Structure 1
Amino acid sequence: MKRFLVGSLSAIAAVVMVMGSVYGADAGSEADPLVSKSYVDDKIEQVMAKIGTGSSSGTTSSATAATFTPVSVAVGKTIVGGEGTEMILRAGKANVVISGSEGITDATTGQALYNGHKATLNHLTIIPRNDGRGFKVTEAAWFLVKGSYTIK
């Protein structure tokens, strides 16, 4: 009976020690990684190969790397934006010019700006259509423009 008890306790102790070493390793550590380094290296190589060939794997995207361009506009001139053009008045003064009844979107406040409204400095405005909407400058101005525009 004593041998049975000692043998059973030894077996239980061995199981506890093995389980402790398995569960004792921190998840994500070098002893127990969440993913293997070779798996990550393979995925990085696949992504780099796609970037190198310009492959988009079936997805279509028309995004361009458009950036804001600083534009100086003289007093009395009008800057007219094309469809989807974004403008920010950085210096000077300007009034909204609209040929129809719809406005220009002030994305900063979420409001529409209508004909004759004074443009606010540093507010992002969006020209929704290519129908002659823009800003008439009343004091020499600088705009940041992303998209197509003309100065009249």
Structure 2
Amino acid sequence: MKKHIVKLTAACVAITLGVVIGTHLSSQADGADAKPGSADDPVVTKSYVDQLFKQMGGELPAGGDNGEAGIAAAMEVVLVPAGKKIVAEEEGTEFIVRSGRAVAYSADKDGISNLTAGKDLTNGTAASKNHLLLSPRPGRGVTPDPKVQNNTLIVLVKGKHAITAY
């Protein structure tokens, strides 16, 4: 019985020493005393970054009440009736078809980029709803599918554009 008590006591002492030494070593771990936002502790909040950005003379993009950079605010809702087309007037114009059946429009052999699907849409190719479409050059865009009667498109557009006859 005495042997068991001695072994049990030795085990308890060993565990206690392990916990004490481990706690001491972990409190001295590299970066435990790092200042928030320093190179040793790079995780910071958005408000901290915004504050530094303003101090450096930068201006933040306009956004909602919560300070988000408003991408949606830069998008414009456009109705494109049947028989018309919406085309980019500058490189990089973006389209998102929200309602109706749309096809890509291009006067030449190339078309527009479907960034969501990762493919090119040539003239007359169906453009999926809720996909981000990019016009790499002016004069390209989307038009209501002529095979569908009374087909009006609702399109979100970012960039200079025009609605013209098909």
Task: Give the TM bin, normalised by the shorter chain.
Answer: 0.5 to 0.7
What is the aligned partner in structure 1 of residue 17 from structure 2?
none
What is the aligned partner in structure 1 of residue 122 from structure 2?
114
Q: CA 1:148–1:35 in structure 2 vs 1: closer, same or farther (change >3 Å)?
A: same
- Percent identity between matched residues is 31
After superposition, what is the alpha-carbon deviation per residue over 1:91-150, rounded to whole angstroms, capped at 9, x for unaligned? Answer: 0122221111112111122111111112211111110011x1111224111111111111
What is the aligned partner in structure 2 of residue 148 from structure 1?
160
Deviation at 1:24, TM superposition (A): 5.5
What is the aligned partner in structure 2 of residue 48 from structure 1?
51
- Matched positions, count: 122
Amino acid in the other structure paired with 1:70: V
Which structure 1 residue ranges, 5 or more long, are not aligned? 1-19, 57-63
What is the aligned partner in structure 1 of residue 27 from structure 2?
25
What is the aligned partner in structure 1 of residue 81 from structure 2?
74
Query: Highest relative contact order (Cα 8 Å, sep 6+), 1 or 2?
Result: 1
3-state SS of paired residue (1:102): coil
TM-score of the two chains, using structure 2 as the length reference: 0.58
Output the aligned Cα RMSD: 3.6
What is the aligned partner in structure 2 of residue 5 from structure 1?
none
Which structure 2 residue ranges, 5 or more long, are not aligned? 1-20, 42-46, 60-68, 146-150
3-state SS of paired residue (2:127): coil
